[in-house]
Amino acid sequence: MGPLTRTVELFYDVLSPYSWLGFEILCRYQNIWNINLQLRPSLITGIMKDSGNKPPGLLPRKGLYMANDLKLLRHHLQIPIHFPKDFLSVMLEKGSLSAMRFLTAVNLEHPEMLEKASRELWMRVWSRNEDITEPQSILAAAEKAGMPAEQAQGLLEKIATPKVKNQLKETTEAACRYGAFGLPITVAHVDGQTHMLFGSDRMELLAHLLGNQVQWLTPVIPALW
């Protein structure tokens, strides 16, 4: 009898670059670590408001550190992450509400497409400096992810429905109950215990909790570059 599969939840928002890093690491390791990875689209602005936290870009020194940090991590993890040209506008004005509602709809009706659709939205905002707020931009990301146009349009039309809005709200509130003050958070359910880890730089600790070791892998999707 093989080792038991452990459940690991990743709460994320495509507005968060560190969420992308954590997402890619977990996608690379989920089979090696024998985990049941559950992707949880959430709304970072709701978590910030609930916790009283503020975006790092509002503190100049923290924003500068973040820019340098992401540059180093881009090469270390081989993820093509780049600061948007108008960072503050992207983070503080445009936001990600429509995109995260769309991913919530994807998760409700076509969860098998969630990983690819999430990645394509990250690629738009954090790699190619493209918009993720306009409907056509979301549809373009869905098409790039391999989703049929009719299916994507149907999901987009549902983002304003109570079902989708309530689900995103409930998932965001679940992250807050776990203690989130930002994203990403990884919640590991191991041996009857629940561990919440903040950020993308806690994967070695996650591996320890799971009884594994980290041997950094090359990307499973070379096309990221």
Contact (Cβ atoms closer than 8 angstroms) between residue 23 and residue 224: no
CA distance 177 to 179: 5
Residue 159's φ and ψ, nearest 5 degrees, are: -70, -20
Render the burial of 132-171: b for 16+ CB within 10 Å, e for the rest.
Answer: beeeebbbbbbeebebeeeebeebbebbeeeebeebbeeb
The catalytic site residues sit at 16
Tell me the C-alpha to C-alpha distance, in Å, between residue 76 and each of 8, 25, 219.
24, 12, 11
Helix 149-156, helix 97-109: angle, nearest 10? 120
Tell me the C-alpha to C-alpha distance, in Å, between residue 117 and each of 4, 39, 113, 141, 181.
29, 12, 6, 7, 25
